[in-house]
Amino acid sequence: MSPPVLVDTPLGPAAVRAAGPGSAVGTLVLGHGAGGATDGPDLLAVTAAASAAGWRVLRVDQPWRVAGRRIAPAPPQLDVAWTAVLEALRAGGALTGPLVVGGRSAGARVACRTAAALGADGVLALAFPLHPPGRPERSRADELRAAGVPLAVVQGGTDAMGRPEEVAAALAGVPAASVHAVPGDHSLGKAPDAVAAAALAWLGQLPLRS
């Protein structure tokens, strides 16, 4: 994996870490959650597995993390920074081949909200926070359903922010959407290899434009 590269955004610099071959079958761009950076075990496992399978993987640390702040900004600001990073990467020729965007928790929400506008070919959502713990009435199903591209959600079986069956119910009737249950809770730290295996299986079946 290469050292991080700083990318300017309207909210300050973001950091991008690249892994995988320069000539790749596609590019997977991953964001992090509201409580951590892109060095979580699930993100690292997916990065290793996807890059070994020929994908170029770019992990994006949002500007607030780069600046050392502990609290994430509001979702619209996350979208602004993410979009700026993706546009800069595209302009610099770093988005090789078909594009899949994704991330864990809050990063998965960002990917779902911006995928269609960024011309992504798919979304890989890890531990999507369907609702706050114990508050299923505050559902974020509209973000999942509006992704507009093929979507895979890898969800821990005991996730207090939405168990796999809850996510599947939220996606009922949405074409090209799938839910992959793995052991563990919202952290996805119990079985990162299972997370990576689910992600890789979906990537391998994803219809990609040439």
Per-residue tens of pLDDT for the chain, all 210 residues? 568 999 999 999 999 999 998 778 999 999 999 988 899 999 999 999 999 999 999 999 999 999 999 889 899 999 999 999 999 999 999 998 899 999 999 999 999 999 999 999 999 999 999 999 989 999 999 999 999 999 999 999 999 999 999 999 999 999 999 999 999 999 999 999 999 999 999 999 887 665
Amino acid at the residue 94 = A
Q: Tell me the β-bridge partners of 182.
A: 156
Q: Are 66 and 13 in contact (CB under 8 A)?
A: yes
Question: How many beta carbons lie within 10 A of that of residue 116, not counting itself?
Answer: 13
Q: Are 16 and 58 in contact (CB under 8 A)?
A: yes
Could you give the CA distance from residue 70 to residue 93 in angstroms, rounded to a whole number?
A: 32
Could you give the CA distance from residue 22 to residue 173 in angstroms, rounded to a whole number?
A: 37
Residue 132 has which token pair? Answer: 């706050």
Q: Are 86 and 116 in contact (CB under 8 A)?
A: no
